[in-house]
């Protein structure tokens, strides 16, 4: 929490910054709030650290400004310090790219990254359950190419108010919030062939700008039969494809998911042939099913063949009260998965959803960066030591800005110590002494004992891009705030001209 102006800056559980109890929105607070929001948009984490470091940079700079040092000199020191800190960050990073012969090693690192993110938001047992779910979900959609961007929109988060939160699981397929509409259709289908289509299979009265006159009831029945035959022909095409791909020998089932309607007569025909049909599926599901199961969505039944079908190891329906859910699971070569979150109430589900989103971003960042950094305040301790060591290389009074930057970075391990109930000064002395003894190994804080640890050995890992973004954004925002008088004078001068 950072005091600024007439109120406090606080962060919500999803990382958004709120200006609390402020009668007038202070420009400084607004700028810091926007920086924290941008941090969350870019990296998905580090909003609290952003606010803490900017506030501490201003606090440390104020000490020297009160003694007559010009803000411009301090900001020059900040820039030099940032360059040194980024070099330290590059030196202590740990690669997440391992040989194809040992894929478990990469997964182990990703599990540590996910758990570090989730353990700060959820209870220990729940964090353990979601850690494996989050890692497996990202790896399922990741093609394994170095530097490839990962689209987290391919991971759908589905909420189900049912049982307890530890029953949450990963579905390698898709979950739809509707089911079959015919009582004779099977509730469970194994080795299902899935047809996705956007074709009307319901009777529609012919509407044309011409008249059709009949003299007898028999002629009227012929008209109705002709209109009905049009739909029956479409249903017949689907039945023929089912008979072609599903035989007694292969034991495969057949599932039709249609975006448009299916009338009772068509449903009855499909049910007699052992076909499970879902009608009026949502558009977002129609786009995701081919990604999850394979095949392609069809707009015309005249072009049906085996290549347009997807596959699912298991298709089944679950009914909770008045709600129906349809699962397509165990899809081979899936490019889209679903995380099914279960919980006893809405509040629990909201907490789980926020935590899972942060965990997914953490794993995504680790794969795209190809590296991670030790957590538990280890980078900040290492960077502060490097800045104190190399500040002699900076000429003039700018080295005071370097010292201010070093002191400001230590606010992260200090805050960890305070939140864990330990004395911050004693803790910092221990960390710095241990780092000098074990240099160049990064040393962090064990929040359970207050003693120094090696974070990588304890599985406490942070994202590289989070730390990099913090250093860049905090330096820029703090410098702009310190030089605000010069910026305002320059603006007034330009108006006069």
Instruction: Read off the tokens for 190.
Output: 């194994």
Question: How does 347-385 read in b/e, with b if 16+ C-beta sit within 10 Å?
Answer: ebbebbbbbbbbbbbbbbbbbbbebbbbbbbbbbbbbbb
pLDDT of residue 211: 57
pLDDT value of position 412: 92
Lowest mean pLDDT among 186-195, 224-233, 290-299, 463-472: 224-233
Within-domain flag for 220: yes
Same domain, 210 and 322: yes
73 against 217, higher pLDDT: 73
pLDDT category at 405 given cuts 50, 70, 90 is very high
**pLDDT > 90: percent of the chain:** 10
Determine the pLDDT at residue 1. 31
263, 301 Cβ separation under 8 angstroms:
no
Nearest residue to 422 via CA among 448, 461, 396, 386: 448
Q: Which domain holds residue 236?
A: 174-333
Establish whether the linkage from the previous residue to 440 is cis, with ω within 30° of 0. Answer: yes
Determine the pLDDT at residue 86.
92
**At residue 409, what are phi and psi to the nearest 5 degrees?**
-60, -30
Smallest CA-to-CA distance from 197 within 255, 274, 263, 270 is with: 255
In a domain, 401, yes or no: yes
E-assigned strand segments in 54-154: 94-95
Which domain CATH number covers 469? 1.10.560.10
Q: Does pLDDT of 52 surpass 80?
A: yes
Q: Which of 281, 303, 333 is the last residue of a domain?
A: 333
pLDDT at 105: 77
**For 334-358, what is the mean pLDDT?**
88
Asked, for residue 414, whether it belongs to a domain, the answer is: yes
Q: Is residue 134 part of a domain?
A: no
Q: Clarify whether residues 302 and 418 are in a common domain.
A: no
The CA-based diameter of the chain, rounded to the nearest angstrom, is 107
Q: What is the pLDDT of residues 260-285, one digit of tens each?
A: 888 888 888 888 888 899 988 888 88
Do 27 and 82 reside in the same domain of the chain? yes
pLDDT grade for 246, boundaries at 50, 70 and 90: confident
Mean of the pLDDT values across residues 354-367?
Answer: 89
Whether residues 315 and 413 fall in one domain:
no
On the question of pLDDT at 8 being above 80, the answer is no
What's the CA gap between 441 and 49, in Å, rounded?
23
My answer on whether 218 and 302 are in the same domain is yes
Half-sphere CA count of 378, side-chain side, radius 13 A: 32
CATH number at residue 277: 3.50.7.10
| Neighbour-count burial for 102-116, b at 16+ CB within 10 Å, e otherwise | eeeebbebbbbbbbb
Q: How many domains does the chain have?
A: 2
Final residue in a domain of this structure, among 314, 333, 352: 333
Label residues 320-340 b or e (16+ Cβ within 10 Å = b). eeeebbbbbbbbeebbbbbbb
Same domain, 302 and 386: no
Task: Categorize the per-residue pLDDT at 493 as very low, low, confident or very high, splitting at 50, 70 and 90.
Answer: low
What does the pLDDT read at residue 144? 67
CA 185 to chain centre: 37
Name which residue leads in pLDDT, 385 or 6: 385
Q: What is the CA radius of gyration of the chain?
A: 31
Residue at 287 is within a domain: yes
Same domain assignment for residues 184 and 315: yes
The per-type count for the chain, helices as H runs and strands as E runs, is 16, 17
Pick 207 or 32 by higher pLDDT: 32
| Within-domain flag for 448 | yes
Report the relative pairing of strands 253-258 and 371-374 from DSSP bridges.
unpaired
Secondary structure element (H or E) that encloses residue 210, with its range: none
Residues 102, 103, 104, 110: what is their CA dihedral angle, to the nearest 10 degrees? 130
- Say which residue, 267 or 15, is predicted with more confidence: 267
pLDDT at 257 over 50: yes
pLDDT digits over 184-231, tens only? 888 888 888 999 988 888 876 555 554 556 667 676 666 667 667 878
Question: Given a cut of 70, is residue 146 above it in pLDDT?
Answer: no
Check residue 87 and give its pLDDT.
Answer: 92
Average pLDDT over residues 163-183: 84
Is the pLDDT score of 73 beyond 80? yes
Helix ranges (H only) for 279-325 are: 283-293
SS3 annotation, 395-412: CCCHHHHHHHHHHHHCHH
307 is a domain residue: yes
pLDDT of residue 16: 43
Predicted local distance difference test score (pLDDT) of residue 98 = 59
Two tokens, residue 91: 């030196």
Look over the chain and give the mean of its residue pLDDT values, rounded to a whole number.
82
124 CB-near residues (< 8 Å, 6+ apart)? none
**What is the per-residue pLDDT for 205?**
57
Tokens 């250093």 -> residue? 471
User: What's the rounded mean pLDDT across residues 71-87?
Assistant: 90
Among candidate residues 307, 333, 359, the one where a domain is terminated: 333
282 and 217 inside one domain: yes
**Mean pLDDT of the 241-270 span:** 87
pLDDT for res 103: 64
pLDDT digits (tens, 9 = 90+) for 90-132: 988 888 765 555 667 778 888 889 998 888 888 878 888 899 9
Q: Name the more confident of 426 and 146.
A: 426
Residues 320 and 376 in one domain: no
3-state helix, strand, coil in the chain (%, to 5): 55, 15, 30
Scan for tokens 């990064």, then name that residue.
442
SS3 124: helix
Same domain for 382 and 327: no
Do residues 80 and 179 share a domain? no
**Which range among 63-67, 179-183, 394-398 has the greatest average pLDDT?**
63-67
Spatial separation of the C-alpha atoms in residues 475 and 466, rounded to whole Å:
14
Q: Are residues 179 and 314 in the same domain?
A: yes
Per-residue confidence band for 4, with pLDDT thresholds at 50, 70 and 90:
very low
Cβ burial of 149 (10 Å; 0-12, 13-18, 19+) is exposed
Give the integer Cα–Cα distance in Å for 245 and 253: 9
Q: Is residue 351 part of a domain?
A: no
Instruction: Name the percent of the chain lying above pLDDT 70.
Output: 85
Rounded alpha-carbon distances, angstroms, from residue 275 to 14, 93, 265, 280:
44, 54, 14, 16
Mean pLDDT of all residues in 300-311: 85
């Amino acid at each position: 929490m950072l005091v600024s102006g007439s109120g406090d800056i606080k962060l919500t559980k999803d990382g958004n910054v709120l200006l609390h109890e402020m009668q007038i929105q202070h420009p400084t607070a607004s700028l810091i709030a926007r920086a924290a929001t941008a941090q969350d948009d870019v990296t998905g984490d580090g909003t609290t650290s952003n606010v803490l470091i900017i506030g501490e940079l201003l606090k440390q700079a104020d000490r020297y400004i009160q003694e007559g040092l010009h803000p411009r000199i301090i900001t020059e020191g900040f820039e030099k310090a940032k360059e040194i800190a980024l070099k330290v960050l590059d030196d202590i990073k740990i690669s997440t790219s391992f040989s194809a012969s040992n894929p478990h090693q990469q997964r182990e690192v990703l599990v540590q990254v996910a758990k570090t993110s989730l353990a700060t938001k959820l209870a220990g047992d729940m964090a353990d359950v979601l850690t494996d779910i989050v890692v497996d979900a990202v790896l399922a959609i990741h093609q394994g190419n170095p530097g490839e961007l990962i689209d987290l929109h391919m991971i759908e988060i589905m909420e189900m108010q049912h049982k307890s939160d530890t029953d949450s699981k990963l579905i390698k397929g898709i979950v739809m919030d509707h089911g079959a509409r015919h009582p004779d259709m099977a509730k469970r289908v194994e080795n299902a062939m899935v047809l996705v289509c956007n074709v009307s299979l319901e009777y529609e009265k012919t509407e044309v700008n011409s008249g059709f006159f009949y003299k007898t009831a028999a002629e009227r029945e012929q008209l109705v039969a002709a209109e009905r035959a049009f739909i029956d022909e479409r249903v017949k095409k689907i039945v023929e494809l089912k008979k072609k791909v599903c035989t007694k020998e292969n034991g495969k089932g057949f599932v039709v998911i249609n975006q448009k309607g299916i009338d009772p007569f068509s449903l009855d025909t499909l049910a007699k042939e052992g076909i499970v049909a879902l009608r009026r599926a949502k558009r977002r599901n129609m786009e995701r099913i081919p990604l999850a199961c394979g095949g392609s969505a069809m707009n015309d039944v005249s072009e049906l063949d085996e290549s347009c079908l997807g596959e699912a190891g298991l298709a089944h329906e679950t009914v909770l009260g008045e709600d129906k859910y349809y699962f397509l699971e165990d899809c081979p070569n899936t490019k889209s998965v679903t995380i099914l979150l279960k919980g006893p109430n809405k509040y629990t589900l909201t907490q789980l959803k926020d935590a899972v989103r942060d965990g997914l971003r953490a794993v995504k960042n680790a794969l795209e960066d190809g590296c991670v950094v030790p957590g538990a305040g280890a980078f900040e301790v290492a960077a502060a030591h490097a800045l104190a060591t190399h500040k002699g290389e900076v000429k003039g009074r700018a080295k005071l800005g370097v010292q201010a930057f070093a002191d400001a970075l230590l606010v992260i391990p200090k805050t960890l110590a305070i939140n864990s109930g330990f004395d911050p000064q004693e803790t910092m002395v221990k960390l710095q002494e241990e780092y000098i003894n074990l240099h160049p190994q990064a040393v962090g804080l064990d929040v359970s004992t207050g003693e120094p640890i090696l974070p990588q050995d304890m599985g406490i890992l942070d994202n590289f891009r989070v730390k990099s973004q913090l250093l860049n954004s905090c330096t820029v925002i703090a410098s702009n705030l310190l030089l605000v008088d010069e910026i305002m004078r320059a603006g007034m001068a330009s108006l006069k001209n």
